[in-house]
Amino acid sequence: MLALASKLVIEYWPIERLKPYERNPRKNDKAVIRIRESIREYGFAVPLLAKSDGEVIDGHLRLKGAIAEKMNEVPVVPCDGWTDAQVKAFRLMVNRSVGWAEWDLDALALELGELKALDFDLSLTGIDAREIDASTLTANAAEDDVPPLPEIPASRAGDLWLCGPHVCSAAMQRTRMQSHDCSTAGSRF
C-alpha cells in the first residue's frame, strides 16, 4: 500500500510521449466531441495519469480530446509507484467509480436552474438534454390538479358513446360490454 501522505506531482508532457493503453476497456470515440467542448470551455483541468514510459493509466478520452484540439502538451501525474496489478485494477476502478454515487435530484435541479438563469450552455455540464429537461422543467400544478366532480355527471353506468367508428361504454367488463353490443370498426365483443 502506498503512503497516503505522498505529494501529488503534476508534470507537463508532450502529447507524443503518451501511449494509450491498447486494451482500454472503455469505448469512448463517440464522446470525443463532448470532451473537446469541455477542454475549450474549461481548459485541460484534469491531468492524465501515466507511467514514466508514457503508458496512459487514466485519461484516454481527455488525451483523444487534446490530440483533436492539437494541443502540444498536457498535465500528467506520473504513477510509477504502482505495481502492474495496481495499474490494471486502478484503470477499472476509476472508470467504474463514476457510477457509485447517486444524484441528489433536488440539488441537481437547483444547480442546473441557476446555470440556466445565468445563460450558461447546459450541454457543457456533461448531462444530456433529456436529463436536463427532467431536472429543470417545473410541473404546472394547475395541470396536475384533479377537477372537482360535477353535481350532474355527463355520463352514467350503461351509457354508450359514439366516437367515430368506435362505440364506447362505461362498462369495462366483457359481459357488460357484450350486453351493450359494443363494437369497434365492425368487431363485436
**Residue range 114-144, pLDDT digits in tens:** 998 999 998 899 888 887 777 666 555 566 6
In a domain, 62, yes or no: yes
C-alpha span between 149 and 163 (Å, rounded): 23
| Distant-in-sequence contacts of 27-32, Cβ < 8 A, 24+ apart | 28/60, 28/61, 28/64, 29/64, 31/61, 32/61, 32/64, 32/65, 32/68
Q: Quick one: pLDDT band at residue 168, thresholds 50, 70, 90?
A: low
Taking residues 33-60, what's their average pLDDT? 96
- The stretch 38-53 carries a mean pLDDT of 96
The residues near 69 (Cβ < 8 Å, ≥ 6 apart) are 36, 39, 40
Predicted model pTM: 0.67
Q: Is residue 89 part of a domain?
A: yes
- Nearest CA to 137 out of 160, 161, 108, 170 is that of 108
Average pLDDT over residues 161-168: 71
Q: Of 29-43, 95-109, 157-171, 174-188, give the lowest mean pLDDT range.
A: 174-188
Q: Express each pLDDT in 76-121 by its tens digit.
A: 999 998 999 999 999 999 989 988 988 888 888 889 889 989 999 9
**Mean pLDDT computed over every residue of the chain:** 83
d(CA 81, CA 49): 12
Based on the domain organization, do 90 and 16 belong to the same domain?
yes
Q: How many domains does the chain have?
A: 2
Question: Is residue 49 very low, low, confident or very high in pLDDT (cuts 50, 70, 90)?
Answer: very high
CA distance 49 to 59: 7
Q: Are residues 89 and 160 part of one domain?
A: no
CATH number at residue 57: 3.90.1530.10
Domain that holds residue 77: 11-98
pLDDT at 1: 53
Evaluate whether residue 145 is within a structural domain.
no
Which has more confidence, 156 or 65?
65
Percent residues over pLDDT 70 in the chain? 79
What whole-number distance in Å separates Cα of residue 34 and Cα of residue 64?
A: 11
Any domain includes 29:
yes
**Which 8-state DSSP code applies to residue 181?**
T
More confident residue, 188 or 114: 114
Is residue 71 within 8 A of residue 16, CB to CB? The reply is no
30: in domain = yes
Does residue 140 fall inside a structural domain?
Answer: no
pLDDT at 147: 76
Say what the pLDDT of residue 83 is: 93
pLDDT at 159 over 80: no
The verdict on residue 1 lying in a domain is no
Give yes or no: residues 23 and 91 share one domain: yes
**Is residue 133 in some structural domain?**
no
pLDDT value of residue 29: 93
Following DSSP, what letter does each residue of 32-71 receive, concatenated? HHHHHHHHHHH-S-S-EEE-TT-BEEE-HHHHHHHHHTT-
